[in-house]
Chain A
Amino acid sequence: MTRYLPWIVGAALIALPFVYRSPYPMHILIIILIWSFAYTSWSVMGRFGLVSLGHGGFMGVGAYVTALAWNHGHVSPWLGIPLAVVASAVLAAVVAYPCFRFRITGHYFALVTLALSGIVLQVITATRDHTGGSLGYTPERYQGGSSLWALQFSDKTTWYLIALGVWAAGLFVWNRVDRSMLRYALEAISEDEDAAAATGVHVTAEKLKITVLSATMTALAGALYCQYQMFISPDTVSGISVSLQMVFAVVVGGIYVSLGPTIGAVITILLAEILRIWFGTRAVGWDNLVYGVLLVLFIIFLPKGIVGSLLDLRRRLRWTSS
């Protein structure tokens, strides 16, 4: 039964839009899937103690390069997204390589990457003649509204299936990393870099691999978000708050389990939506108020997150009952 469970759930998720297509819940689901993918991308490297606060920057590059290529160069997102992803990977490598080479780790690494997301945010704001600055930016609508070439679809079902596919691919990558030699190398590195290097692990190369992978996925998430929402602003796709939002969702969901980031996204987005529906504009600020308290409590009491702690609990129960 447990072997088939992922396939059953997957089939149910694919079938969902053909049975039920109310636009608002559909929209929430798509948003949850896209952010789940972004959070999974962060946790791919975050779980090895490589806490980056620069992922807001990678996401911003993904979204803005795609949109700018479309509006200014009339480049199809089919080309624009790979371009954005490559740009983000290069950016990640340029900043991360010296970091790893000179052994900038822990909270120093977090602060360097914080500077990176600061740079991306300020560049977007400073080039306001092209990017719209803090007022945000909209990719031009293709004439008919829906077009495969422009990667713009007016119906939610198509977007749901795309987001579902990308999210599943994200989980697949997470699990592949989980089963690879890279994981063991990175775990060794996060325990003790010198010892890992002494046993023949190429510390810099392994860390660089996972960072570029993570940045690539995050840029893709940014590009998808841009294509779906058709509106991006520096505050929603880049900068320090987005980086912290990623960290927060992953920590709440569970950083060491593949579904953790997804659960984190479900909880945070549903919480924000429920507060918005119940309290309307009076709720401005309340969602972050709750997040803040939750983040502190989780880091102190449940550092493994909800999913991680539940799995631990199940393991312990089985162990006592057998």
Chain B
Amino acid sequence: MGVFDIYLLETLINGVLLGGVLALLSLGLNLVFGVIDVVWICYAELIMLGMYGMYFLYTVYHAPIVVAAVACIVLVGILGLALHTLVIAPLLGAAPINQLLATGGVLFFLQSAATVLFGIEFKNLGLRLPVLKVAGMFVSYSRLLAFGAALIAMVLVYLLLTRTYTGAAIRAIAQDRQIMPLMGVDTRRIYLITSGLGGALAGLAACLLVLQYDVHPFVGLTFGPITFLICVLGSLGNFGGGFVAAFVFAEIISVGGLYLDLEWGYVFAFAFFIVMMFVRPEGLMARRS
């Protein structure tokens, strides 16, 4: 994903910043996963479309970058709503695994739609943010930006969930799906809000990722799996847990990539996930009855 220098400290700092990126990636998925108990396996593909949105708005149509970013967030939010209405809602009563597989179909669809519409060439914004040089270490400015945005987005989502009426309803639904409709909570509305919010967070992640990475139809496969694992490891719907998991994964990938190849960093991260599932399954069990 990135270039890692020979210094461990620099690697660690970059790992923390990569953690910010991963945390931002997992934020929206975590929300949907935790509240609706549905795995959007095509989540990374929503981000891919958001990245294309940024590319077209900013590079092709020369919209101001802030306008492009806002439009992109709204656009992917609408995609999230559409995904919920068209695919998830008809399957809410079915086994959870069917919802996962149906979004797997959406994954195929979005990937090939992007291939057909945009081609398989790598595209980038043609905008390179400067690299900060602190005490002889190189720190990517765009990664710093993603890190900051992830923190702010998490705080905002946290405030929304704890300080507003809708947020309370969302948390209540996440705790008990059967009882809350009887208490007068409109489940459908809450699910729609959550899906839209999840999509918008994917859009935000897309805006920041496109600053660092080229976009192509299969870009989702490079960071999709790791995003799911972060959500599961940090126990679902638990944002603090997701954040910690994102940083642990990022450090494993960075340090593994420093001493061996970047692929080995991923191998260690995946293996770590499997081992953790066995060592601490409680984090996963918490939401199941």
| A-to-B contact residues, CB < 8 Å | 49, 51, 95, 98-99, 101-104, 106-108, 110-112, 114-116, 118-119, 122-123, 125-126, 240-241, 244, 247-248, 251, 284-289, 291-296, 299-300, 303
**Cβ-defined contact, B232 with A292, below 8 A:** no
Q: Which of B10-18, B238-246, B258-266 contacts A (4 or more CB under 8 A)?
A: B258-266
**Cβ-defined contact, A126 with B97, below 8 A:** no
What residues of A have a CB within 8 angstroms of the CB of B221 in the complex?
Answer: 240-241
**Cβ-defined contact, A104 with B281, below 8 A:** yes
With both beta carbons as reference points, the residue of chain A lying nearest to B42 in the complex is identified as: A292
With both beta carbons as reference points, the residue of chain B lying nearest to A300 in the complex is identified as: B90
Closest approach, in angstroms, between the C-beta of B87 and any C-beta of chain A? 6
Q: Does B179 have its Cβ within 8 Å of any Cβ on chain A? A: no
What residues of A have a CB within 8 angstroms of the CB of B260 in the complex?
Answer: 126
Q: Which of B20-28, B107-115, B193-201 contacts A (4 or more CB under 8 A)?
A: B107-115
A296 to B85 alpha-carbon distance, docked (Å): 13
**Cβ-defined contact, B105 with A294, below 8 A:** yes
Task: Give 20 A-B pairs besides A102-B277, A114-B225, A292-B110 with Cβ atoms closer than 8 angstroms.
Answer: A51-B101, A102-B278, A107-B96, A111-B229, A114-B229, A116-B270, A119-B267, A122-B270, A125-B263, A126-B260, A126-B267, A240-B224, A240-B225, A244-B104, A244-B108, A288-B112, A292-B106, A292-B108, A293-B109, A300-B102
**Cβ-defined contact, A106 with B101, below 8 A:** no
Closest approach, in angstroms, between the C-beta of A135 and any C-beta of chain B? 14
A291 to B102 alpha-carbon distance, docked (Å): 11
A53 to B64 alpha-carbon distance, docked (Å): 42
Q: Does B39 have its Cβ within 8 Å of any Cβ on chain A? A: yes
Given A111-B228, A125-B263, A285-B115: A295 and B101 interface contact (C-beta under 8 Å): yes
**Cβ-defined contact, B107 with A244, below 8 A:** yes
What residues of B have a CB within 8 angstroms of the CB of A240 in the complex?
Answer: 221, 224-225
Q: Does B60 have its Cβ within 8 Å of any Cβ on chain A? A: no
**Residue of A98, A104, A295 touching B108 (CB-CB under 8 A):** A295
**Cβ-defined contact, A116 with B108, below 8 A:** no
**Cβ-defined contact, A112 with B274, below 8 A:** yes
Q: Does B95 have its Cβ within 8 Å of any Cβ on chain A? A: yes
What residues of B have a CB within 8 angstroms of the CB of A106 in the complex?
Answer: 95-97
